[in-house]
Structure 1
Amino acid sequence: MHLADFIESDLQGLIDDWADYALALSHCDSRLSEIQLRNSAAEILMSIAADMRESQDAARQAARSRSAFAERSLCQVGAKSRGIGMH
């Protein structure tokens, strides 16, 4: 099974674990509700799975492995779900 398939097939379980872990880490300091955490997790995980399914030539794969492109993309997904940085 490919990782993208696993993410999609066990999305709810991954979201449950993600939210539980995030809430445990930020018990008192969290600015996000459990619903916001769960929504962000779903968007990020689905974006990861979709990205894994995209074909990449060797040059793009090498470029992405040396840059923060993927990290910026995932941060943007989370920010968009919370309305951060949107005008």
Structure 2
Amino acid sequence: MSIITVSNQITGPGKDINKKHDLFDVLFLTFSAVLSGTLGWNDIKQFGDEKLEWLSQFRDFKIGILVDNTIARVISCIKLYELGKCCRQENN
């Protein structure tokens, strides 16, 4: 099972009609940035801006990188038990 398939099981914030960014794009950006050593939301945003060409090889990011407050808001709305459940499924 791929991480993309598993991530589709995570409930994201907001209603579909108001979503401008794909939830997996935000997760991919955040995971990539944190694994690269970023320490906060502003650093994640800066990483995204600097690495947009690289990130775009894997995901669409058609409207660019979210602002740091939006990244924080989206990530904080993810239900941690769902994320944990998905990670456990990925390892099985």
Q: Same fold (TM over 0.5)?
A: no
Normalising by structure 1, report the TM-score.
Answer: 0.30
Structure with the greater alpha carbon radius of gyration: 1
RCO greater where, 1 or 2, for CA within 8 Å and sep 6 or more?
Answer: 2
TM-score computed with the length of structure 2 as normaliser: 0.29
